[in-house]
Structure formats: structure tokens, C-alpha cells
Amino acid sequence: MEKEISRLEEEFQKDLSLVKSREDLEKLRIKYLGRKSPINQLFTQITHLENREEKALWGKNVNSLKEKISSIIEEKLKNAEIKEDRLDLTFPSSQVYLGSLHILSIVNNSICSIFERMGFIVIEGGEIEDEKHNFSSLNIHLQHPSRDVFDTFYLDIPEGNEGRLLLRSHTSPSQIRVMEKNKPPLAVISPGRVYRPDKVDASHSFMFHQIEGFAVDKGINFSHLKGVLTYFAKSFFSSEVEVRFRPHFFPFTEPSVEVDVSCIICKSKHLGKGYEHKCSVCRGKGWLEILGAGMIHPQVLKNCGIDSKRYTGFAFGMGVDRIAMLKYGIDDIRLFYQNDIRFLEQFYI
Ligand code: PHE
């Protein structure tokens, strides 16, 4: 009987090691604990023993084997149940990363939507332009330094009858394209990429983003330009900013201005020359330059077939990268283009 018990135990361990599923486990239970199981047969054999003490001894041994087998099967069944049937709704999910718009797209869209609220429509121009639209029609004469090969990326393909092809160096050609094809009244903004062969550093990139804006109609004057740009600056930065128009020169606008807003970081515009502290954004000047603008030069209107005696217009152009840097205190333009998730995810909205 002793041999039989240890043989049964060995056989059980072997069968157990082959169990792969809940079903196998169930079969194992019936084989070893069922009515016709070898263990039950052992119990029957015990009843035939003569000696009472022997009966008690073997009864105990067979019982402990039965208990051992049943507790092993019980335990395995419990585990299988957890694995197969239970769904733990409190278990932490694996992390899902949702993408977001790039910070430059966010800034670009919010600038455009401010102008859209004022009735401007968005028209995107092309990134490949010709000399006529990038320069000549904008009154930029042949000797102007911006036409130099060191300041513009010319494409290595034969020139057409509108001059050499190039990567546009500003979004102003959009003014020309729209005015050539459409009659006033016009109120348009035109966002997009522009290219200049500048040496890349913290504030220069060979590619950056601009938004051009212009309006042409009868009776448009400088006060319209001031009103539109002041509304924009207060909506985009804060209602508290002040706006300053400084005389400047652009070949395609007359008069021309550069537009500054009071520093949104240190708010120290009134400190003037004698300022003591150093603001890292305005460097103590109290003002931040945000764009160039002016009244569209009558010659530019004429170049596009618009009667400059009846119509006047204003135009402005701003750098999206620069404005995003000012608004969020970003000190290196290269951060926009390095695709470093640690930088980008700060602006997830
Ligand atoms: N095109 C100019 C630039 O790139 C900006 C500008 C646009 C200025 C329209 C005046 C009017 O610097």
C-alpha cells in the first residue's frame, strides 16, 4: 500500500506538470478525486484490512494524500479563475499619449482668428515665388541687398519670364498675388513659411513663419491701420499693453512704421533711459518690436492694376516665431524645430 501511495503521488505530480488549461485541471480533479479515482479504490482496499491499527494508519495516509491533491487543485483553480474570468476595473491603464498642435500652429491660429473676427479672410500663398512677386512688384529695386544670393534662396531651375524662382523671403508676395486677381474692397491675412539663408543662432533660422495682412478700399487711412493693430495687440497679449508706432522704411509701404508693444514681462515702459533692472525679454528697453507695417505704396497698387487714385490700403507683416517667443518667454528659436517632446509638451492644450 505504501508503494501504491507514493506511486500515485508521483503520477499526480507528473500529470499536474502537463496541465495547460482550466479544462485540464478539471480532468485532473476527476481523475484523482472522482468516485472512480485510484484514491477511492485505496479506501475500499483499507476496509478489507483485518487489523484495526493497520486500518487507522493507512486511512490516515491515504487521507493526507487526498487532502494534499485536493488543496493543490483547489489553489490552481482559483488562480485560473482570476486570470481568465476577472476584469479588474481599478487596474491602472497603460498611458496613452495624445498629440497636440505645435506651439507655432497654436500661436499662428490664434493670431489669424483675431483678424478673422475683424473681417479679414485667410489666403495662403505659395512658398516658391518668382522675382517679380517677391521683389519687383513690391517696389524692391534690382540693386536692393535683399535680392542678393546671400539673402535669398534661389532655385537652381531655369528662370521664367517673371524672373528667377526662389523660396519666398517674406509673405508680402501674397499681397501682390491677391491684388492682381481681386478687386477691392479686400481684407486678407496670409500666414506661411518664409526662407532666408541666415546663419542659424538663438534668434535666426533659415526658415520661419510670417503672417501678412492688408486691407484695400476707398478711404482707408493710417488710423485704420493703427486701430486694427492696436486691437490685435491688446487681444493677443493683454488689454493692458500699450502700442507704439515708430517711423521706419519699407520699399512697399509709405509711410512705413515698426510697431512695438510695451514689455509684457517687466511692464517697465515708463522707466525710460534710466532703468536699472535687466529684463531678459526687452533688455530694459520697456518695448518689444512685433511687426512692420505701413500704407501700401501707390506704385504697388498700380503694379497690381488697382487705381491708386481711388483706392488706398494698409499692410503689415509679423514674425510668428518671434511673437511666440515674446509671449511665452522662449529664448531660442531653435527649440521650435528640434522636436524635443520635453519642450513641446509644455504647450499641450
Ligand atoms: N515684408 C516685411 C518683412 O518681411 C514686413 C512688412 C510687411 C512690412 C508689410 C510692411 C508691410 O520684414
Looking at residue 82, its pLDDT comes to 57
Amino acid (one-letter) located at 176: I
Q: How are beta strands 253-262 and 287-296 bridged, if at all? A: antiparallel
Say yes or no: 151 and 179 in one domain: yes
Say yes or no: 215 and 323 in one domain: yes
Number of domains in the chain: 2
Looking at residue 85, its pLDDT comes to 61
Rounded to 5°, angle at Cα 298 from 292 and 299: 100
- Among residues 183, 180, 208, 212, which one has the least CA distance to residue 115? 212
Residue 90 lies in a domain: no
Of 50, 85, 120, the one marking the end of a domain is 85
Which atom of ligand 1 is closest in space to residue 138's alpha carbon?
Answer: 1
Structural contact between residues 252 and 300, judged by C-beta atoms closer than 8 angstroms: yes
Structural contact between residues 154 and 166, judged by C-beta atoms closer than 8 angstroms: yes
C-beta of 293 in contact with ligand 1 (< 6 A): yes
C-beta of 315 in contact with ligand 1 (< 6 A): yes
How far apart are the CA of 194 and the centre of ligand 1, in A?
A: 12
- 167 - beta bridge partners? 128
CATH number at residue 221: 3.30.930.10
Cα 18 to its chain centre, rounded Å, is 52
Q: Is 140 helix (H, G, I), strand (E, B) or coil?
A: coil
- 313 - beta bridge partners? 216
Residue 95 lies in a domain: no
171's grid cell: 509673405
Say yes or no: 128 and 8 in one domain: no
Say yes or no: 339 and 281 in one domain: yes
Of 85, 118, 149, the one marking the end of a domain is 85
Cis ω before 185 (30° cut-off from 0): yes
Kindly report the protein residue whose alpha carbon is nearest to atom 6 of ligand 1: 317
Say yes or no: 59 and 117 in one domain: no
Say yes or no: 116 and 202 in one domain: yes
Say yes or no: 70 and 137 in one domain: no
Q: Is 340 helix (H, G, I), strand (E, B) or coil?
A: coil
Instruction: State the pTM of this model.
Output: 0.73
Say yes or no: 140 and 274 in one domain: yes
How far apart are the CA of 166 and the centre of ligand 1, in A?
A: 18
- 258 - beta bridge partners? 246, 292
Residue 306 lies in a domain: yes
Cis ω before 191 (30° cut-off from 0): no
Say yes or no: 75 and 109 in one domain: no
Of 85, 118, 136, the one marking the end of a domain is 85
Residue 322 lies in a domain: yes
Say yes or no: 172 and 203 in one domain: yes
C-beta of 237 in contact with ligand 1 (< 6 A): no
Please give the chain's pLDDT, 349 residues, in tens. Answer: 778 888 888 988 898 888 888 788 888 888 888 888 888 888 888 888 888 888 888 888 888 888 988 888 888 877 776 566 667 888 888 888 888 899 999 999 999 999 999 999 999 999 999 999 999 999 999 999 989 888 999 998 877 788 899 999 999 999 999 999 999 999 999 999 999 999 999 999 999 999 999 999 999 999 999 999 999 999 999 999 999 999 999 999 999 999 999 988 887 655 554 455 677 778 888 899 999 999 999 999 999 999 999 999 999 999 999 999 999 989 999 999 999 999 999 998 7
Q: Is 61 helix (H, G, I), strand (E, B) or coil?
A: helix
Going by the DSSP 8-state scheme, the letter that residue 196 receives in this structure is -
C-beta of 173 in contact with ligand 1 (< 6 A): no
Residue numbers of the domain that contains 261: 103-347
Residue 79 lies in a domain: yes
Give the separation between CA 131 and CA 116, rounded to whole angstroms.
30
C-beta of 250 in contact with ligand 1 (< 6 A): yes
Structural contact between residues 103 and 347, judged by C-beta atoms closer than 8 angstroms: yes
Say yes or no: 81 and 107 in one domain: no
Say yes or no: 74 and 107 in one domain: no
Instruction: Tell the residue number behind the cell numbers 535666426, with chain if given.
Output: 204
How far apart are the CA of 284 and the centre of ligand 1, in A?
A: 26
Residue 98 lies in a domain: no
Going by the DSSP 8-state scheme, the letter that residue 199 receives in this structure is P
C-beta of 213 in contact with ligand 1 (< 6 A): no
Residue 92 lies in a domain: no
Give the separation between CA 109 and CA 103, rounded to whole angstroms.
10
Residue 339 lies in a domain: yes
